[in-house]
Every structure is written in C-alpha cells, then in structure tokens.
Structure 1
Amino acid sequence: MPPRNDRPNRFSAITCCNRVILLLVMAWHAGAVFAHPQSGSFVQVRSREIELHYHLDGTDSRAEIELWYTRDRGTTWQRYGPTHAAAQGSPLRFVAPAEGLYGFILIARDGARTSRPNPSASEEAQRWVFVDYTPPLAQWMGVDPMQLSSGEVEGAQSDVRPILQMRWTVYDNNLPARPVSLYYQSADEEDWKVIENQLPNVGQYLWTLPSDLSGQITLKLQVKDMGGHVVERLFGPTSVDQWYSSIVAQQPPEATVETSIVPSDMADVKQPPPVKPVSAEQNQLAREYYARGAFHWRRGEYALAAARFREALEAAPDMLEAMIDLAGIYCYQQDFSRAVQLYQSVIDRDSRNRHALLGAALAYSAAKQYPESRDMLLKLLESNERDAEAWLYLGDVLFQMGGLGEARRHWRAAMEVDASATRVIEEAREKLQTFLPADSAATADAKANR
C-alpha cells in the first residue's frame, strides 16, 4: 500500500482493485484544505488508473470539478479531459499516459465562485504521484567460486574459503540509486539472512562465505523500484561443499567457462571464428586479469574493471565469462550496442548460452529495440520451452510493442510452464490482473459500482 498522508482533510491514498484512490475534501477556500507537499514527497503507485474520490462542501449539484496535472514538476500544466459534474458524484478518474512523476491540482467551480485560480507556471502541485506500472527485469547471470590474489584482499593467501562472484542483470526505467539486496538461506533454516542491503545496480558482488556455513544454501536477489515493485529471483539450492572443492582442487579455467554440447543434428549451426590455441600460461594469465576485473567492478571502478576484462580476452579470446561480464559493464554504462556485440560473440560460440541470450534481450529492450529483444527471447525458448522467465520477459516486450493480447498469452504461459518458478508466477499474475482486457475492465468496473 502506498504511504498515506497523515495530515487531516488533505489528500490521502489507498489502493483497491489495481487502482490508486486519492481521497480529498474540497472547500471554497483552497488554502484551508490543501498544503504543498514537502520537497520530494510523493505517493508511489503501480497502476495507470488513479481514482480521485472527493467530498465537496458548501455548494450545490451545479458545481463542476476540473483536474489539472503536470509532468514536468510544475513548469507547465494541462487540464485533463472535460470538466466533471459534481452531480455525477465521486470519483474522478485519471489514466496516466506514461510512467513518471505527476502533480495534481483540483479546482471546483460553481457559477462565479471558484475554489482557486488555474495553476500557473512553476506552481507547486497539491499532490505528487509517481506512476510506475512496470516491474523491474531481474535475472541471475551466474554464481561462481573464485579466489583472489594476496595483493587484492588482505590475508587471501591463507584464506581458503570460497569467494563467490554473484552476477546479475537488472533493468528498469525507474530504479533508485541502490535498488539491489542479496540474501541467503540455509537448507535447515526458514529465515533469510542478509548478505548486503541496498547495493547499487553494478551487476556484481563478491561474497566470502562464512566459515561456519555448510550444506545446501539458496541465494536471493531482491530488486525494488521507485514505484514500489519488489522482484525476487532465487539461485539454488546449491551445495557449499562443491564451492570448497572447486577452490581446493584448483580446477583449470576451461572448466569454469560455460559451454554447450551441440548435438550431431545441429552441425549446420554457425560456428565461432577460429582462434589460435591458448596455452596453459595464457589461460592462467586470463584468469588473473578476470579476477582483478571482478575486484575493480566490486569497488565501482568500472573503467578499470573493463580494462582488466579486455586484457583477459586478449590472453584468452574464447573466455565467455569475461565477454559476458564486460557486456554487463557496457549495459551499466548504457552502451547497449557494444553490449549486444559481446553477447552475440558468446552466442556465436555457444548458441544456447542462456546468460548471453537473456543479456542480449535485456540490452535490446533497454535500447527500445523490442523486435530484436523478442527474437533473442524466442531463441531462448527454442532451447528451453519451460523457461518461465523467458515467457515472462517476452510478454513484457510484446506489451511494449503494443500487443496486449499476445503479452497476456505469454504471461499466462509463464504461470504454467514451471510450477516451481513461484516468483515468476506471482509477477505474471500481477501483470494479468493489472492489464485487464477492455471488456474485463468494464465488467470489473460494473461490479464495483453495484
């Protein structure tokens, strides 16, 4: 529920039936009813439609209500639709044309009387509302054990505990500065424990496993946007012993690179460009550059991280991890063209690489190249038609392309293909309830007015 204004006889807000309802009282002396909100205060809503329920004192049924709104923080004001006759009664409905911050002013007119003048340029709104009806796109890109060199982390030489490199991709037009939180849960516990709260969306975090942690654990990626959506993605359960074994055994770097076994009936799939054989020394050098890049990324030193990832690729041009993470930096820097090029390089080498297909789809979507994003998600579904997140994101992309009916069909599929994808199912259900077909919305309104 969005926060309620605690001042009496002012705007307050509640949510009902996927709409936001603003409650207010109007009198003929506007100063007695409204006060300008504090700077930065606004109601967060997750719906296009806002209902303004009002009570008008001191007038008769001939009065008319005008709704004025601004989308540029009061620089300009527009009157919304025709006037609303008080005789029709509450509510007055506003449908937001797009996401973003809206300011509202209501004016009552009864013959020569008016509750206040029309709003002027740079005037403060009576109420601010932030409309955000699209949840963030969030996806785990991988969790890999690694061990930093002694020069990067104090005591690393003698510390044999795995350092997990957790990688993710998050995209939303309305993210706060620190939208990401990470948690873990042991198999024998019900509560989630915090790894780190309110992280910036840098796409990566390095976590040293607690020394007393063992058995199976599950990781949780949680993302909150400015509209109040909360999206959660789970990774695991995974055995902690496997991570310890990978560090102790010092697996060669080739073993950590994700590849795909191509069946014999896919011999015509596009093959990657030929690359000179890489020696063990070059592979080791690439791993060191990659670890340093991950360290710099964790510290927010993106230019240094990108430089180290590029050096890793110079030493081992087929290092898919470095390609994917460098593409992630480009996405963070909103250089979507270069990000897509790298993701495509991974796809050329591994046509079913989920991280690359999904990363490319999200990069295309962020660049508003929705047909290309759709094509990547369709390729992902060709590899695994039971990928619930791919169905969900494909529905989002089709919605952006104007196909509400197709979007709803894909959101329904996201709810059906994998019963274990509980978070995806909840998110798809919320989208289906929010974006009702026109006939269903009319039916819902009719039921609500009975």
Structure 2
Amino acid sequence: MQSSSILSVKDLNQMVKDVLSDAIGQIWLVGEISNFSRPSSGHWYFTLKDDAAQVRCAMFRNSNFRTGFTPQNGQQVLVRATVTLYEARGEYQLVIDKLQPAGAGLLQQKFEQLKQKLSDEGLFDAIYKKTLPDNIRTVGIITSSTGAALHDICQILKRRDPSLHLIIYPTQVQGTEAAAQIARMIEIANIRQECDVLIVGRGGGSLEDLWSFNEEVVARAIFASRLPIVSAVGHEIDFTIADFVADVRAATPSAAAELVSQDSLDQIKRLQIQEQYLSMAIDYYLTRCREMLNKGYHRLQTQHPQAKLAKQLNVLLTYRHALYDNIQQYLLRQTNLYNYLDKRLLRLSPQNTISALQLTINQRQQQIIHLIEQKFTQSQHQFALQTSQLNSVSPLATLERGYSVTTTVDNAVVGCAAQVTVGDFIITRLKQGKLVSQITTIDDKDITSK
C-alpha cells in the first residue's frame, strides 16, 4: 500500500465538495424555515424542510443584508442556492445567495421560467422589434380608464404635442380577467388599425399587482401585434414579460408618453431608446450564451474522466480498506492462536515438572535438616543426662566426697586384700594428690561381718 494514494479526511471532503458544486451547481427550491439562528457574525443558519426531508442552509452576511426582511421559523421561502459540503463536519449543505417569501418567490420563479421559454422561442429577439413611426399622429392607450397611469399619459401628451389624437382601449390591469382583456384589446387595436402606436401599461405596484403583464397570453398578443407597442408597466425598477416582448420598453407610463411624442429633443430620445434596446438585446444574447455555456460546462464536468476516476478511486479505496481490515483480523486470529499454544506449551513444559520436583527436594531437605537438628538436640540432651548419671557414679565423684581409690602399680583397682601381697606397692588416689604405699600387713577379714 503506497502512502501517496491514501487520502486524508480533509482531502476526501474537498473532493466531495468539488463534485457536488460541479455536478449540481446553482438551483432554486422552496421550503419551510426551521431552527433559524443569527449569531453575532451576521450570518444566517437554518434548516429548510418539507414534509419528507430537510437540509441545512447557510446565508452569509454579504448576501442576507440585501434580503430586506428577517425570515422566521415556519415561514415558506424560495431560495437560490449552491449545493456544497461543509468540510469541517463532512455534511452537505446549501449556501444561499437569494431568499424571498414563497408567494412572491414562486411568482418570480414562474416569471423566470416563462421568460426563459419565450426567450428560447425567439420572442425577445431584436429582429422582431418594430421601430416607432417618425410621424405619430394617433396614439392608442391600453390601460385602466380610472388609473393614474392614463391621467399621467394624457397630461404629458397634451403638454408635449396637443395635436396628437388619443384612442383609449379601457381594460382591467389587475385581477384574474385582466390578462385576457389586455390581449383582447391589443387584437382589437390591430383589427381597427386606427392608431400608429400602442401604449400598453399601468402604474406601479407589487409583483402580484403587475402579474397580468407577465402572462403568456399578453406576451403572445404583443408579439403578434402589427402595430408597434410601447410597454409602460410600473416604475423604472419593474420589469415584466411584456417589457421584453414589446418593441420598446418605457420605464414608466409617463416615459412612454414622452417616447411617442415629438419635441426638440426627439433625436436624442431616439438615440437613447436605441442604446437601451441594444443593451437589452446584448443582455439577452449574453444571458442565453452564458446559460448555454453553463449547461455545456456542467454536462462536460459530469462526463469528465476525472469524475470517473474519482468514482473508481472511491471504489478502490473501499476495497483497500476492506482488504486491510481482513488482514488485520487474520493477524489478530493468528496472534490469539499463538498465545494460546504458547500458554499450552508452558503448561506442558518439563521445566514446570523439574521446578515442582526441585521444590519437593528443597522441602524434603528442609525436613531432613530439621529432623537432624531435632535428633542432634535430643542426642545432646541424652548425652548431658548420661554424663550427669556417669558423674554421679564416677570415682572422681567418690573422691569428691572424701573417699579414695587404691590401685596397683598396674592401675588395677584393689577391691579386696587377696589382690595384693605383702611387699607390693599400691597407689592411693585422694581428692587432691595420691599416696604410694608398700604393704606390710594384710588382713583379709570382711569388715562387714563384724
């Protein structure tokens, strides 16, 4: 096993993070917020869940300050996020860069989907855009007859060019029936052919208020119109599908009135319109090219040999770890068997028997020594006793009591007179010293008989 092929946990998490980011990329999803927290760092951390699953999310401070509201637990939201991996814990999570309430968010998502669909069909392409006539004499206005937008348009047209003839096509601009009515009024204006240009729009409002101008039926009616159409919906920051399909987009209804009316600055206005149109066309083109490039890039990444090699490497590492575990288990079993046999051999070794016998010999030696010492003590005691008894009958003891012992010169004890004759020398032993005598008279009578 080569050490260069062994990954660290950090390397593995980095590899998984790269695979997730490249394979999935940026996505939109909707869910319910729970476990929302906002630490002192300013980042947001929460869980996004639905009835079947949940995922951890992070929205960093440089993104959440643009949100405009603080989400709450239990709130349904639509988020745009990148799938990634939190390397420190090895957990996958979403890094969110855009968050909005689910109601408006779903509408925004629907807006983006329809925008992409119509863009792919070419409804936004510059080749279909009609230029405004040079001499506009009649202006058709498709809007609410009671709205402020109509009042603003009429006031500006009256001030800039009182000679213009106005034709109003009243319609609802908000509600469930509004989109169909707007499309119908565009068709009627095209059938009548009684105006040079159409202004289609309304005043500002929320995304829900402006939604009629994001309906597909309105977009297709604008695209099918033979009359040039100026889209004038909402405020300058508001963009609708109608703005993209229309021949000219005006930032506000008042701006639309200025676009279709003539004054001394007409040429400058036209240049500005062309600049805006060119910028929008380039933006559409670049957006489509970027989306195509991203699709191709992600598709290439999923088919890249490196991704396949990474997958095979994971399989190889799995097998390697399994092989290593098996080897470790085999070595452990062999070690246990060796230890068992070693202990068994020790139990059966002659050395143990020799040691046991040696211990027995040592014990027997101690017993013999103890017996010898005991016997020796008894013998000493017996010797002392016999010595005492011997001393009690010893001639020396008799001498001590005042008696004497008589012996011949040959050291034979004289016990009776018959043992000696007159003239013999005898030796008398006393307590102290001895006497040498010569027998002159012998009396052999028994003194005990007297």
Structure 1 or 2, whichever has the larger Rg, is: 2
Q: Same fold (TM over 0.5)?
A: no
Q: TM-score band, normalised by the shorter chain? A: under 0.3
- State TM-score, norm by structure 1: 0.21
Of Structure 1 and Structure 2, the greater strand share is in 1
Which one has a larger percent helix, Structure 1 or Structure 2? 2
TM-score of the superposed pair, with normalisation by structure 2: 0.21
